[in-house]
């Protein structure tokens, strides 16, 4: 019998990537409305129970970071309460749960990449809701892996790469923040990593070192302006017109939600415990840009 991974969500970047990258012998079942609505946490357990999972991946989330500032209760229901319900359902079914979390649980004040045991301190409603989800999962089930990632992009949905390519159509220069550091991470690479972690949790049910919190982002680091320059360089290589990047400060581009200045994650624990290392960001980014431009053409 193959591995049956039940994932919350349908339109999210990670879920769509998992559905694309699922290997032979593995079934990925994505739950969506009307069967599952994370804004109604009591729907979570019955939907997961009916799906008969070997592993549950809670990948659906309220991800509108700025909008969460005006809808903190909704963000908390989806990212906090519903995550706890998913973990309780997993515990009742006797299966592992994987919770996808975020760099936004940190305040960004450290001058080095964050490790799993560093103090959390979210500075946005979104970050607070995701931290609440982590804590709810940990409280509900010992058989969990919380995977924090950062700066997700992909060929799917809305993300920074798509925004930059759209702006490149009409702009010769784009202002991009250059004082926030992070690890741009492909959802397709995340999907591969999640699938590997899921396999490990099922294959080694007694191995406590596979459980807990792990950081999971691409190798290397960048500021947003570096990412934009890489996007435009790949676009130009494939025949697009040159587009310049104007490096600006976060204060020049105010948003309702505050972002961590440092979103870099130390992923050594994931490599040591699970044998999982994500590729360097530049190669994955170039692949994504090329795919998006081909799709446009």
Indicate if 153 belongs to the active site: no
C-alpha distances (whole Å) from 192 to each of 15, 17, 100, 182, 185 are 11, 9, 13, 20, 12
Query: CA–CA distance from 236 to each of 142, 150, 239, 277, 290 (Å)?
Result: 49, 26, 5, 30, 11
Report the DSSP pairing between strands 222-223 and 181-182.
antiparallel
HEC per residue, 68-126: HHCCHHHHHHHHHHHHHHHHHHHHHHCCCEEEEEEHHHCCCCCCCCECCCCCCCCCCHH
The 8-class DSSP code of residue 201 comes to H
Query: Phi then psi for 126, rounded to 5 degrees?
Result: -60, -50
| SS3 (DSSP) at 262 | strand
Q: Are strands 144-149 and 3-8 parallel, antiparallel or unpaired?
A: unpaired
CB 90 within 8 A of CB 138: no
Catalytic, out of 62, 126, 153, 253:
126
User: 241: left (phi > 0), else alpha (psi -120 to 50), else beta?
Assistant: beta
Residues forming the active site: 126
């Amino acid at each position: 019998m193959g591995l049956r991974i039940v994932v919350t969500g349908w339109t999210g970047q990670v879920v769509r990537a998992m559905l694309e990258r699922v290997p032979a012998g593995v079934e990925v079942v994505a739950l969506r409305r009307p069967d599952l609505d994370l804004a109604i946490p009591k729907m979570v357990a019955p939907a997961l129970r009916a799906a008969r999972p070997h592993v549950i991946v809670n990948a659906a989330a309220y991800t509108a970071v700025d909008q969460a500032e005006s809808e903190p209760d909704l963000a908390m229901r989806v990212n906090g309460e519903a995550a706890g319900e998913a973990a309780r359902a997993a515990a009742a079914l006797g299966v592992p749960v994987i919770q996808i979390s975020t760099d936004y649980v940190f305040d960004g004040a450290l001058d080095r990449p964050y490790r799993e045991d560093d103090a959390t301190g979210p500075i946005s409603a979104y970050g607070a809701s995701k931290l609440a989800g982590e804590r709810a999962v940990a409280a509900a089930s010992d058989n969990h892996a919380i995977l924090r990632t950062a700066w997700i992009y992909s060929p799917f949905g809305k993300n920074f790469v798509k925004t930059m390519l759209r702006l490149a159509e009409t702009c010769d220069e784009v202002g991009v923040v250059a004082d926030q550091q992070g690890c741009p991470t492909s959802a397709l690479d995340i999907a591969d990593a999640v699938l590997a972690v899921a396999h490990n949790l099922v294959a080694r049910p007694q191995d406590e070192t596979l459980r807990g919190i792990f950081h999971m982002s691409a190798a290397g680091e960048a500021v947003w302006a570096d990412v934009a320059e890489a996007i435009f360089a790949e676009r130009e290589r494939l025949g697009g017109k040159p587009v310049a990047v104007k490096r600006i400060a976060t204060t020049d581009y105010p948003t309702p939600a505050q972002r961590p200045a440092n979103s870099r994650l130390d992923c050594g624990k994931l490599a040591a415990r699970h044998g999982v290392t994500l590729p360097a960001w530049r190669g994955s980014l170039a692949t994504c840009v090329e795919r998006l431009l081909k799709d446009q053409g």
